[in-house]
Structure 1
Amino acid sequence: MTTEILKVLDNGYVRLVDVLGSDLTVANAARVSYAKESFELTDKDIRLIKFLAREGHTSPFRHAMLQFEVFAPLMVARQWWKYVIGSTHQEATGDSMEAWNESSRRYITEEPVFYRPQPNEWRGKPENSKQGSGDPVVEKLGLYYTQSLNDLINKAERLYEAAIEDGICAEQARLFLPSYGMYVRWYWTASLQSVCHFLNQRLEHDAQKEIQDFAKAVYYLAKQRFPVSIEELIK
């Protein structure tokens, strides 16, 4: 079990929990058709991996798995989750072996943590799109909305704590907490191919910046373990 971890945003992180396989796993999964096996990654194996990626022969990349623990705002988690659900039904991935287990405030009452953008982190609307974001807003506006968000969160936390103290069940008391900025924790286990599909989608310039930041952390951690495959699959 690994403990590699990268901090993201103000309170978030991505931790690589466990890994099954390596670049050599990919090469051997492809080579089993000919009843052959390599015991050390060679230039020949690397050429094979490049061929597989280039020609879209994706099944060998599904024999390697990565498991991550992620702590991110709910708005990031829901974007991520929509990707996971969608990707299991796409022929592009062919991957139906992803797993997702998330913390629930039906059962836990630990102190909530919220994403609080700094005044210089608020972004304006894009000029030529109905979604996404544009340039940073002026400092005065950023200061106003950071303070407004802090006030809202502080009031919500007081109501949440009061409800718990008065005996309201946790699954209803959580209604007082602002949801989209609240941090949640989950485990995500996926094949190497599925991880790369996620990265190709969420590293794009038009992805929401916050999920881009988490995707960059996943990319860095995955590339340490699968340097050849990641290089070929992430374009």
Structure 2
Amino acid sequence: MAMMKVLNEGYVRLVDHMGTDLTVVNAARVSYAKESLELSDRDVRLIQFLAREGHTSPFRHAILQFELYAPLMVCRQWWKYVVGSAHYEGTGDSLEAWNESSRRYITEEPVFYIPQQHEWRSKPENSKQGSGDAVAWELGEKHMRELMEYVELGLTKYEAALADGICAEQARLFLPAYGMYVRWYWTASLQSVAHFLAQRLEHDAQKEIQDYAKAILELVKPIFPVSLDQLVPSQV
């Protein structure tokens, strides 16, 4: 399946999917014992109606499965969409699944996200969260090098603990967590994916998760062009 690189070491891979825009149409038409064999203009109007009027259950019959590799700070923010998916807008969407790699079991070489000199951002002027403009190159250079030194120190202590026979699930405490890349599978309905995109493609979302959302959109758009055009209209 298709894969897109994100940040310096991360990626999004579309592992599998079930359905197309026609799946949404036929899930809705079954109420009248009807079925479409090819997507028509009438079917497009039906998808438009379903999205406009909030009839969302047909969008939950299409499923997408992704493999993701991202810094922990992105992963944990993403997780909120799994926790909340059974409740938002009263949908009762219980089709989400999440399986993540664990350093209780693996000791592969840790990989860390380290922003380059031009990627460090200032704090926002009028908000307690988010970020502002890029800082000066020299300041970015300073903090890039300090982060590299911090990561190297953590790696050294992690490897020393393993060498001393400390179990992996405790040795990982030495690893600088938020920038460390983790790998996971995310399986979700089309509606849940669209909800994630609508939230994380917004201009005020954290830039790093925006980058992943853009990759998700590019991978999903060819499969569900009509549905995404209606569910995430400002982004398609």
Task: Pick the TM interval, shorter chain.
Answer: over 0.9
Aligned-pair distance for 1:22?
0.5
Answering whether residue 80 of structure 2 is matched by residue 85 of structure 1, we say no
Distance 1:135 1:199 in 2: 23
Contact kept in structure 1, 2:85 and 2:96, CA below 8 Å: no
Please report the TM-score for the alignment, with normalisation by the length of structure 2.
0.97
* SS at 1:187 equivalent: strand
Q: In the TM superposition, what whole-angstrom CA distance separates every residue of 1:126-160 from its partner, at most 9, and x where no partner exists?
A: 01111000000111110000000001111111111
Q: Which runs of 5+ in 1 are unaligned?
A: none
The partner residue of 1:198 within 175, 192, 196 is: 196
CA distance in 1, matches of 2:104, 2:146: 28
- Seq. identity, %: 72
From 161, 165, 168, give the equivalent of 2:166: 168
Match of 2:41 in 1: 43
Q: Which amino acid aligns with 1:51?
A: F
What are the within-5 Å matches in structure 2 for residues 1-235 of structure 1?
3-235=1-233
Rounded Cα–Cα distance in structure 1 between residues aligned with 2:144 and 2:12? 25
TM-score, with length taken from structure 1: 0.97
CA contact (8 A) 1:93 1:193 kept: no
- Asked whether the 8 Å contact 1:157–1:177 carries over to 2, the reply is yes
Which portions of structure 1, spanning 4 or more consecutive aligned residues, are displaced by more than 3 angstroms? none
> What secondary structure sits across from 2:221 in the alignment?
helix
Tell me which moved more, 79-88 or 52-61.
79-88
CA displacement at 1:90 relative to structure 2: 1.8
Distance (whole Å) between structure 1 residues aligned to residue 37 and residue 171 of structure 2: 55
CA RMSD between the two structures: 0.9
SS in 2 for 1:129: coil
